[in-house]
Amino acid sequence: MKFAIQVNEGPYQHQAADSAYFFAKAALEKGHEIFRIFFYHDGVNNATRLTTPPQDDRNVVERWAELGGHYDLDMVVCVAAAQRRGVVDEGEAQRNGKDATNIHPRFRISGLGQLVEAAIQSDRLVVFGD
Amino acid sequence: MKFAIQVNEGPYQHQAADSAYFFAKAALEKGHEIFRIFFYHDGVNNATRLTTPPQDDRNVVERWAELGGHYDLDMVVCVAAAQRRGVVDEGEAQRNGKDATNIHPRFRISGLGQLVEAAIQSDRLVVFGD
Amino acid sequence: MSETIKNFLYLNRKAPYGTIYAWESLEVVLIGAAFDQDVSLAFVDDGVFQLTKNQHTSAVGMKNFSPTYAALGDYEVKKVFVEKESLEERGLSLDDLQHLTWEDEDEDWAEKDSIHLVTRAEMAAIMDGADVVFSF
Amino acid sequence: MSETIKNFLYLNRKAPYGTIYAWESLEVVLIGAAFDQDVSLAFVDDGVFQLTKNQHTSAVGMKNFSPTYAALGDYEVKKVFVEKESLEERGLSLDDLQHLTWEDEDEDWAEKDSIHLVTRAEMAAIMDGADVVFSF
Amino acid sequence: MSTLHTVNKSPFEKTSLAACLEHVSAGAAVLLLEDGVYAALTRTSVEGQVKSALDNVKVYALGPDLQARGLLEERVIPGISVVDYAGFVDLAAEHDKVQAWL
Amino acid sequence: MSTLHTVNKSPFEKTSLAACLEHVSAGAAVLLLEDGVYAALTRTSVEGQVKSALDNVKVYALGPDLQARGLLEERVIPGISVVDYAGFVDLAAEHDKVQAWL
């Protein structure tokens, strides 16, 4: 079965990002496909490579990146939400005159249409939020 | 009168950052002093210089920076919360091996003791959150 | 489109301005309108506050996005369901909400109401009939 | 310290793990303990869930911070107020919570209870008496 | 001491207003702001609760938040005073402390 | 259609569980996760509400979230099934859609 996953909250503040991760991992381990993980609202903050959580806590960003690398997941960050919250890749930095980027290379920035497309193409949309 | 302000949420997702700003501005315009504004939890995301909100919306980060510049405010970002969420200055980038920074120069990163000290030194602590 | 059309339900349960969910949800609706699905919007619980008239945001320094709801008809979003019980619990009636319309091409562009007042039981049935629910 | 000592109240009303507030609040308490103020902790509403025994977080991949509460006594945090009505509404009793203690230097390091079960009216009075309330 | 309590959540969504009102002492004030201002409306399911509170405490609602949400002052429960941000600052200064019900 | 409803908030803090239960159709399932699992406990002020729901729908609680919060399975209302993340995936696959009550 083909899942799409939407994540509405950033790492650490809410458990939503954790629940989404464990759901995705369990689905993949059962042999299901994940068409796309879409990070919306504060969920875009899951994609920053600048986090350094305490050593005795989980690293939410790296955990996504590893899962994404292992299963070649399409992990999309909403561009409009990312602009509001300061999640930036090379292209965004150039377009908006920013002197740095902070996105983790396993994520890509794209439009909201990617969420709608994921809902159409997948058998189930599962939303995690606050 | 001397106020201390604590901001627990990031920009845009919750109105807390907006309410805190307008409270601070009104207090300063009335001649009160603001000992410190302390950004905690997701509130640390108020301090990223990488945001580009839509042109017809407010720029929460720049608005803080302008108020801070005008009144020479002490705007402190909690280091532990910032590390979890990827808000980084030069020193943090070096210590944690990060290749970029995203903090706006009007803010500074420091410890939780700054919040406790603010509560002691001020006449009122006002907390804005979710 | 050659694909099956899905019944999309956008579930709006949160008040505007206190959090951004209402506004960013509306952004999905506008983008999603281009995908030719069967779209419904549900306003339940505090979501009904999103549709109130007379929103004036200058004193809170935020963008007033409420005029955008009136544009939904132009995007072929015609099915806006508002729950009666949710309104009543909040002391509101339809008169407190914006009047949303769409123009029916098949009837010489006659202007028709987009908002349908439904009971909680009817709303439950609408939810039950959706293929995909977007929650914000 | 030469300054006046303030009566600090840390107000804990949220459950652990679903959000980070409980944990980051505890971090403030630990840092704040070095400042020699008169510190009280209030556990009200869902905040009482922070103190439950037997928290095992390995399956949710999060750090189990509940053992830190037991260290509060070492930080001279001795006044932990738990609201009786909040416990009852949640089907809990004191037996479901950790047993927190501190050692009284003046009585040959006798171990004493840190947790005080108070009624809602007593909790209101504790809140009323605080100089500063930290809300998370 | 006299305390200014702040409530920023809708009473229809969260229980923070109810929790606040169960813990206020006589002479305290409650400021409704952000989505908390919905509690100031007449004819709602929580109107009785808020009116009862007015016997013990003063209740204020933040005008800018009412306006943003399209709530006219004529819909505000009599006895609730509407203030702006400057009024919020005055309330914070006049009371001995501010306690947020987040 | 058969729907899996998810509720991730405490019933003592937010009204999302109540809203969900007022909108479920017969044959639906409700999964309690994150702070939502507190609704699965016996002897709480919402126990009656949850037990009534069991007449119409199946109710599940996420085990990892119960364990994190120190809630033993013996305290879970009889009739509520405890599942892990793999069970959550199964429920999502078995039902026609998933509806989150955020």
CA dihedral D13, D18, D22, D23 (to 10 degrees): 180
- pLDDT for the residue numbered D4: 81
Give kind and range of the element (H or E) at residue D21. helix D21-32
Amino acid at residue number A111: G
As given in the structure block, the two tokens for residue F83 are 């599942």
Report the side by side order of strands in the sheet with F58-62: F81-83, F58-62, F29-32, F3-7, F97-101
Quick check: is A82 catalytic?
no
Confidence check: pLDDT of C136 > 90? no
**Catalytic, out of A7, A37, A75, A78:** A78
d(CA C91, CA C49): 11
How much is the mean pLDDT over chain A?
98
Q: What is the 3-state secondary structure (H, E, C) of chain F?
A: CCEEEEECCCCCCECHHHHHHCCCCCCCEEEECHHHHHHHECCCCCHHHHHHHCCCCEEEEEHHHHHHCCCCHHHECCCCEEECHHHHHHHHHHCCEEEEEC
Domains of chain C listed by start with CATH number: 7-135 (3.40.1260.10)
One DSSP character per residue, chain C reads --SPPPEEEEEE-S-BTTBSHHHHHHHHHHHHGGG--EEEEEE-GGGGGGGBS----GGGT----THHHHTGGGGT--EEEEEHHHHHHTT--GGGB---EEEEGGGTTEEEE-EEEE-HHHHHHHHHH-SEEEE-
As given in the structure block, the two tokens for residue B69 are 């510049």
Radius of gyration of the CA atoms of chain A, in A: 14
Cβ within 8 Å of residue C53, ≥6 positions away = C96, C97, C98, E70
Collapsing DSSP states into helix, strand and coil, what is residue A3? strand
Confidence check: pLDDT of C58 > 80? yes
Alpha helices in A31-121 (DSSP H): 60-71, 79-85, 90-96, 113-121
C61 and B CB contact within 8 Å: yes
| pLDDT tens string C75-102 | 999 999 999 999 999 999 999 999 999 9
Q: Burial code of C4-23, b = ≥16 C-beta within 10 A, e = fewer? A: eebbbbbbbbbbbbbbbbbb
| Phi, psi torsion values for F83, nearest 5 degrees | -125, 160
- pLDDT for the residue numbered C3: 66
Q: What percent of chain F has pLDDT over 70?
A: 100
Report the phi/psi class of residue F14: left, alpha or beta, with left for phi > 0 and alpha for psi in -120 to 50: beta
Partners of chain A (3+ Cβ pairs below 8 A):
B, C, D, F
- B28 with B105: CB under 8 angstroms? no
Q: What is the 3-state secondary structure (H, E, C) of chain B?
A: CEEEEEECCCCCCECHHHHHHHHHHHHHHCCCEEEEEEECHHHHHHHECCCCCCCCCCCHHHHHHHHHHHHCCCEEEEHHHHHHHCCCCHHHHHHHCCCCCCECCCCEEECCHHHHHHHHHCCEEEEECC
| pLDDT tens string A6-53 | 999 999 999 999 999 999 999 999 999 999 999 999 999 999 999 999
DSSP state of D115: E
- D42 with D133: CB under 8 angstroms? no
d(CA A15, CA F68): 12
d(CA F95, CA B128): 40
Q: State yes or no: chains A and E have 3 or more CB pairs below 8 A.
A: no
| Phi, psi torsion values for B100, nearest 5 degrees | -155, 165
| pLDDT tens string C44-56 | 999 999 999 999 9
Q: Burial code of A78-112, b = ≥16 C-beta within 10 A, e = fewer? A: bbbbbbbbbbbbeebbeeeebebbbbbebbebbeb
- C126 with C81: CB under 8 angstroms? yes
Confidence check: pLDDT of D2 > 60? no
Alpha helices in chain A (DSSP H): 16-29, 60-71, 79-85, 90-96, 113-121
Closest approach of E21 to chain C, Cα-based (Å): 19
Collapsing DSSP states into helix, strand and coil, what is residue D105? helix
Query: Which residues in chain A touch residue B98, judged by CB atoms under 8 angstroms apart?
Result: 49-50, 52
Confidence check: pLDDT of D46 > 60? yes
Query: Which residues in chain C touch residue B24, judged by CB atoms under 8 angstroms apart?
Result: none
Between 2.30.30.40, 1.10.10.10, 3.90.79.10, 3.40.1260.10, what CATH number should domain F3-101 receive? 3.40.1260.10
Confidence check: pLDDT of F1 > 90? no
Confidence check: pLDDT of F32 > 90? yes
Query: Which residues in chain E touch residue D21, judged by CB atoms under 8 angstroms apart?
Result: 102
| pLDDT tens string E74-92 | 999 999 999 999 999 999 9
Question: Per the CB < 8 Å rule, is D60 touching A57?
Answer: no
d(CA F36, CA F10): 5
Confidence check: pLDDT of B13 > 70? yes
Collapsing DSSP states into helix, strand and coil, what is residue A37? strand
Which of D86, D126, D128, D131 would best serve as a mutation to test chain E binding (most E beta carbons within 10 A)? D128
- Name the pLDDT band for C4 (thresholds 50, 70, 90): confident
Question: Per the CB < 8 Å rule, is E25 touching D128?
Answer: yes
**C-beta neighbour count of D113 within 10 angstroms:** 14
Question: Per the CB < 8 Å rule, is B127 touching D134?
Answer: yes
Query: Which residues in chain B touch residue A42, judged by CB atoms under 8 angstroms apart?
Result: 10, 13, 42
Which residue, F67, E83, A29, E90, is CA-closest to B126? Answer: E90
- Name the pLDDT band for D3 (thresholds 50, 70, 90): low
Cβ within 8 Å of residue B34, ≥6 positions away = B2, B3, B4, B5, B24, B27, B28, B71, B73
**C-beta neighbour count of A130 within 10 angstroms:** 25
Q: What percent of chain D has pLDDT over 90?
A: 96
Residues of A within an 8 Å Cβ radius of D: 12-15, 18, 21-22, 54, 56-58, 63
| Global confidence as pTM | 0.97
Cβ within 8 Å of residue D75, ≥6 positions away = D29, D30, D33
d(CA F82, CA B123): 50
Average pLDDT over residues A61-76: 98
Confidence check: pLDDT of D132 > 90? yes
- D124 with E23: CB under 8 angstroms? yes
Cβ within 8 Å of residue D96, ≥6 positions away = D52, D53, D87, F70
d(CA B30, CA B35): 15
| pLDDT tens string B1-12 | 999 999 999 999
Collapsing DSSP states into helix, strand and coil, what is residue D34? helix
Confidence check: pLDDT of C1 > 70? no
Confidence check: pLDDT of A120 > 90? yes
Cβ within 8 Å of residue C102, ≥6 positions away = C72, C73, C74, C76, C77, C78, C111, C112, C114
Q: Judging by beta carbons within 10 Å of its beta carbon (0-12, 13-18, 19+), is residue C94 exposed, middle or buried?
A: middle
DSSP state of D83: E
d(CA A59, CA A52): 8
Collapsing DSSP states into helix, strand and coil, what is residue A126? strand
| pLDDT tens string F67-96 | 999 999 899 999 999 999 999 999 999 999
Confidence check: pLDDT of C2 > 50? no
